[in-house]
Structure 1
Amino acid sequence: MPKSPASLAARGLAAAAAAALLVGCTSEAKLPKDEVADTVAEKLAAQTGQPKPDVTCPEDLVGKVGTSLRCKLTASDGTSLGVTVKVTSVDGNKISYDIKADETTS
């Protein structure tokens, strides 16, 4: 018995929806950019003994080892530094990373 065009279209849409759900389930862990910025600011303040600087990051940190993100630190005196955040390990949704501030202001 031949299938109607509507039946074939419905099956195609169902298959596409199922594929989209599978892709969504395999997405990488991410840390929101505001959370990364806040953690970076806290760690740098603790290391330097200075007040917590203003740190902004342009995007979320993707949980893939080796991925890096460039953030911007603005100190209370108005000077700014670049800060590199680099993913060192990922365990489920837990992302560990190193922080390195540039040596010179920009």
Structure 2
Amino acid sequence: MRKSSSSLASWSLAAATAAALLVGCSAEAKLPKEEVANEVAEKLAAQTGQPKPDVTCPEDLVGKVGTSLRCRLTASDGTSFGVTTKVTSVDGGTIKYDIKVDEKAS
């Protein structure tokens, strides 16, 4: 499938860091992988004005500052990018993390 340069440009622009705030409920804060993927997709769609991409994450995000999770974003044209979520703070069950999309398609 042909990779459109406008899709590459849009998702690359989304590489500017976005913050997400979510709530977990266990003693060790964890955010289910489905929630992380959905929140990342929604924030990136809002940032870029593009349709909500398909985002998948391999595991739950552990609420420990500095912890990273690599997810996969697939745009509507089939272009795929890596996405890194990195925990910036944890306050009780609230996990705050940054989102960074790779600059180049994978």
Q: TM-score category by the smaller chain?
A: 0.7 to 0.9
Aligned pairs, how many?
81
- Identical-residue share of aligned pairs (%): 83
TM, length-normalised to structure 2: 0.74
Structure that is richer in helix per residue: 1
Higher strand share: 2
Q: CA RMSD in A?
A: 1.1
Q: Look up the match of 2:90.
A: 90
The aligned runs of 1:49-60 (5 Å cut-off) are 49-60=49-60
Q: Give the whole-Å Cα distance in 2 for the aligned partners of 1:27 and 1:76.
A: 38
Which amino acid letter does the alignment assign opposite residue 64 of structure 1?
K
Kindly state the Cα deviation for residue 28 of structure 1 after the two structures are TM-superposed.
Answer: 1.6
TM-score, scaled to structure 1: 0.74
SS state of the match for residue 39, structure 2?
helix
Which ranges in structure 2 are unaligned for 5 or more consecutive residues? Answer: 1-25
Gaps of 5+ in 1: 1-25
Which is higher, the Rg of structure 1 or of structure 2? Answer: 1
Q: Where has structure 1 moved over 4 Å in runs of 4 or more? A: none
